[in-house]
Structure formats: structure tokens, C-alpha cells
Amino acid sequence: MADNWVETTAGELRLWADEHGGGLDEQGARLLLDLVREEMGLGAPEELTPEGVRELLLEVFPESVVAGAEEVPAVLDTLRRLVAFLRDTRAVPAPRAAELAAEIERSAPAFAEVVAAADTAERQVAAEVIAGLMRADGVPLDDQGAVEAWVAEFEALPEDERYARTEEYLRQTEELVVPPVRLPAEGELAAAVRASELTGRAVALAEWADGRALTEHDQLTEADAEAARDALGMKLTRGYAQVEDEGALERLWWAAVEAEVISVADGAAGPGPALEGLRSADDAALLAAWLPLFDAVVVPEHDPEDGLDAMELVQNEMTGVLIHLYEQEEPTSPHDLLQALREHVGESYDLSDEDAMSGLVADAFLLELGALQEWGIVEVAGDGGRALTPLGVWGVRELLLADGFTAPLVGDLADASAAGLVEGLTWHRPDTADEEIAGWLASRDAKDAAADLLDVMRTGGPGARNLAAAVLHRIGPEAAPVVRAAREHPLVSPYAVLWLNAAGDPSGRELAREEYLWVFVDTVAGMLETAEPADAVEAALADAPPGPELLVMIDELWRTHHDDVADVLEALGDHHPDKATAKAARTAAYKARSSR
């Protein structure tokens, strides 16, 4: 049949439908025909087999089309009418048309489940993206009016602009990820807040300043500032080598005002609403009051256009230092922290005398590091290195979350759904991932956990299948009945076979060659979702057969019925260290694309 057989068939199908009562969803029919040609590689509709019907409904359609559960009956009805058309026009013999029709009915319940699960996942992802876009625009999600106004404005944008904004948000979201951390109990964090010099001095300043007259700029008068230094034990100016921190009291003052520990109104100071929180015996109230104070004081805002001295410049850049400490598993030496800070300063600021400023920056940095230690944010650890205290980890994490970062917490996935566990594991290191899996499995019946993981494997992409299969292998043989029942699903069957073999189940069998190749492609495709292609190929080669056997396998791979086979072969072609193997992979990738 000519290349335009989709158009020809769609036209003939429309005429047939008009003769048989009309009511054809012509657009839906054209979509199914396109999938049969483009995704399944068939050269004509009469090449459709019962196995192809099942593949179309359970694999191709859910992976290629965004559809709601309410659209399932219409899709099935359109496919039924297509089969009836093929029968009536004798494009396929009546017995085979009956087989096709029977397979539609057999697959219908599973098709409805797959589409419903995919629809739910799509809606959840879309809702999360929309919420993220609103947060990025400063829209309070608890303000229904503001949310509705934003949505109306967003929907009024041209489609390409909406798409561009969404793509940019998703790109930034991928970058805004930090490693998982552990946190102590709330009581321990609250005890650290009560012991922090930052807390004590902020409370003391608020109590001392109550009723004091302020300048027109809402600051303490010079005389009162001097008296406050005496009262708070801040009389001696903190310094390190060439740098003195003469603005420590002013910094504390503005942080306390911004955090509402101190209120300023009508030219006088008074207690702010957060002061009682800092005095509170309630741990949650104390932490809620302390976080804004920490946020305000740790990185005071200095405008570069006003001309920054070394102390102000360093304070502007301490966010990067704190994030660096947050991301490290081991303590970092002050020298390494300083080197990273200097490099960033050199890239971000136009310094008139860079050599002289470099020395001042070093002194200011060490002085600032000392302040963070006094506040209980940073501690000396290891062989003279620096690390965040548990309170520092908590405080930095809260600020990262407020800025839209993904900041996993070890233990947070214990109560997650199977889909939530699999999604969350992508942000974990191997050691913390093991902890999360163990915690998740500990609170679940083995059969229920296996069933939930198999659902993820049916509806998720390669990466989700890989992770769900890894978790499934942590479940004992008591889950065998559930896994055996899952062998009917094409996306799950190879993994179920592997699990049953590993569990020593009597129904186990060896993977067929085609299944083995499919699992290899699926595994590498999953790696490509989260890793750079070169890294994914390197990891894949660790478990791949040696040279000659790999060449044979590559020659077979392009025939594998997996949507990502061409991408996997291209990655192998681009990054395999052996030139002959890389060339063979590129050739196979071309064959894979040409055959679809």
C-alpha cells in the first residue's frame, strides 16, 4: 500500500461508516491508524494481528497519547469499527477479524486501567508544574483569588509562550536539587535554637530596645546603639587580621526587625509578634519564629551598586557557602571553602584592586565563618574542617525548600505510595536509597507492596520500571502469586520472569532472547532519563557481554520492540570506547529508525 495509506484508509472508513449508521470519530480513527503506521511500523491496516491489538492498546497508545479515562469507551468503539470495516471490506478474513475483535474485548479492562493510571499521573504532574510556576511568580497558593487570576492570565498567553515558560521552569527544576540529608527530632533542633547565641542576642536586643525612640530611618540612635552593645556584650568589635565587623549590631537589629522579633512604629521600638515565639516552650512555635531570623541574618542584603567592602561582599555570598556545606557528605576545609568563594567573587564582581581585595575577602570570610559557629549554624568537624550543625542543616533546608529546591529527607518516603517512592528514589544516593526502600517495605504487606510496584511498572517509563523492579527484588517469595499474575502484561513480563527465577519459583523460566534484549534497552533507556549519555553507557557496559558478543547483540537490538531502542543505540554509538562497536551501534540505530 502507498505511503499515504492512512489517508486512504481514513477516507474509505468514513464512507463505510456513513453506510453503517455514521457516528464515526474520524479524528480518533486517524490517530489510531497513525499509531499503527508510525509507532508499530505496519505497512497496512490488514497487517494488524491480535498481538498487535494488545500492543496498540496497552503499550503504544498509553505511551504516545495523553488521554483521559473518560475517552476509553470512544477509543475502544473506534477500534471495533475499524476491525468491522476491515472485515466487511474483506481486507482481512472474517475468522481473523473475529480474533481481532476478541482481543479488543480481552484487552479492554487492562486498557482502561492503564489509561486511568496514566491520566492520573499526567494530571498530578501538570498540577505540580502549575503550582511551581505560580510559586515562582510569587502567587500564594492559599489565596484562591490570586490563583484563579494567575491561571486566567496564563491560559490567555499564546501556546508557544506557555510552552516556553513551562520548559524553562522544568529545566530550572532539574537544577534545583540537593542531596538527601538526615535531621534529628524537633526537640533536639529546638534545644539547639535555645542554645544559639543568635536567639539569645535577638531576644535580649528586643527586650532592651522596648520603648526606645528611633531615628527617622527606624534605627537606634548612636547613643542607644553604644548602650545596646554594652548591654548585649557586643562592645568589643569582632575582627580578623585586616578586617573588623563594625556592623554586627546593625545587622542583628535589621534581622530582628525583618523577622518581626522587634516592631518599629511611630518612631519607637517595641516587641514584635515573633518575640513570644523565641521565648516559647513549644518547640514548633520556637522553630517557626527562629527560621525568619536565621534567614534575615545569615545573608544580609547589601546592594553592590553602593560599593561593597570585603565584609559586605562576603556576607552577600555566604548562601553559596552554606549550600556547599549542605551538599557535602564530609566536612570541608576552610581553605577549600575560601577558594570556591574567591572564584565566585572573581566571576561576579568587577574589583578595582583584585589582589588587595582577595586578602581582605579571606579575612572577612574567616570572620563570618566564626559568626556562623557562634550562632550554632556551623561547627568544626573532622580534621579541622567545617560542617553544618543539625540546626544548620535544618535551617538551610527550609530556605532551600522555600526557594523551590527539591531537598530530600532520609526517612520521608516510608509513608509514600509506590509511585512516590520510585519518584523520590531518583534523588537519593545508593546508601540512603537502601534506607528508604527498607523503611518503605517494613510497613507493608509483601503482596500489597509487590502489587503496588507492579502497577508502577505497568504505567511508568523505563526509569520508573528499573527502580520499581529493583525494589521488587527486595521482597521475598511470599509475593510470588502477585508476580506470577503480572506476567501477562508486556511491560512487566520480562521483569516478572527475572524475579520468579531469582525467588526460585517453580513456574520460573529463562528469559527469551527477545526479552533479554528488551530488558537491556529498557535499563539503558531508564539510565538516560537521569544520567548523561556517556555515564549511562559506561554503567550499561559494566553488565554487557564482552566485545564480540556485544557486536552480535547490537546487530539484534535494532529489531527489539521498544520505543527507545534507537535512542539507546545512538547513545552506544556516540559513547562506546571501541570504534568498531560504536560504528555498529550507529548503523543499528539507523536501521531501528528506518524500520518504524
Continuous segment of H or E residues that includes residue 103:
helix 94-136
Helices (H), 137-185: 144-155, 159-175
DSSP output for 52-96 = HHHHIIIIIHHHH----GGGHHHHHHHHHHHHHHHHHTTSS-HHH
Q: Which three cell numbers stand for residue 362?
A: 579571606
pLDDT at 357: 67
Identify the residue whose cell numbers are 513551562.
166
Domain ranges of the chain: 5-124, 137-175, 186-402, 418-511, 515-594
By three-state DSSP, how is residue 331 classified?
coil
For residues 158-178, average pLDDT: 77
pLDDT at 160: 81
Average pLDDT, the chain: 88
By three-state DSSP, how is residue 535 classified?
helix
Closest-CA residue to 198 (of 281, 313, 298, 271): 298
Query: At residue 191, does pLDDT exceed 90?
Result: yes
- Cβ atoms of 528 and 535 within 8 Å: the answer is no
For residues 203-211, average pLDDT: 96
Q: What percent of the chain has pLDDT over 70?
A: 95
Closest-CA residue to 589 (of 229, 236, 562): 562
Q: Could you report the per-residue pLDDT of 228-273, keeping only the tens digit for each? A: 999 998 876 676 767 777 778 999 999 999 999 999 999 999 999 9
Helices (H), 332-445: 334-348, 354-374, 390-402, 418-425, 430-442
DSSP state of 544: S
Phi and psi at residue 317, to the nearest 5°: -105, 10
DSSP state of 510: P
Q: Could you report the per-residue pLDDT of 118-147, keeping only the tens digit for each? A: 776 667 667 777 887 887 788 887 788 888
Q: What percent of the chain has pLDDT over 90?
A: 53
- Cβ atoms of 67 and 75 within 8 Å: the answer is yes
Q: Could you report the per-residue pLDDT of 540-565, keeping only the tens digit for each? A: 888 888 878 889 999 899 999 898 99
The Cα 35–Cα 41 span in angstroms is 8
Closest-CA residue to 48 (of 19, 87, 88, 20): 87
**Verdict on whether the full-model pTM lies above 0.75:** no
Identity (one letter) of the amino acid at 311? M
Instruction: Show Cβ contacts of residue 323 under 8 Å, excluding neighbours closer than 6 positions.
Output: 178, 396, 400
For residues 86-109, average pLDDT: 93
Q: Long-range contacts: 556-560, Cβ < 8 Å, 24+? A: 556/513, 556/517, 557/517, 557/520, 557/521, 557/588, 557/592, 558/588, 558/589, 558/591, 558/592, 558/595, 559/592, 559/595, 560/514, 560/517, 560/518, 560/521
- Cβ atoms of 196 and 379 within 8 Å: the answer is no
- Cβ atoms of 349 and 360 within 8 Å: the answer is no
Q: Which three cell numbers stand for residue 237?
A: 568589635
pLDDT at 172: 66
Confidence of residue 2 (pLDDT cuts 50, 70, 90): very low
Identity (one letter) of the amino acid at 418? A
Query: At residue 307, does pLDDT exceed 80?
Result: no
Closest-CA residue to 187 (of 402, 439, 390): 390
Q: Which three cell numbers stand for residue 97?
A: 477479524
Helix axes 186-195, 390-402, angle to 10 degrees: 100
The Cα 28–Cα 75 span in angstroms is 7
- Cβ atoms of 440 and 413 within 8 Å: the answer is yes
| Pairwise pLDDT comparison (85 vs 243), residue with the higher score | 85
Q: Which three cell numbers stand for residue 373?
A: 559557629
Q: Could you report the per-residue pLDDT of 25-49, keeping only the tens digit for each? A: 888 888 899 888 888 888 888 899 9
The Cα 594–Cα 488 span in angstroms is 30
The Cα 561–Cα 563 span in angstroms is 7
- Cβ atoms of 362 and 356 within 8 Å: the answer is no
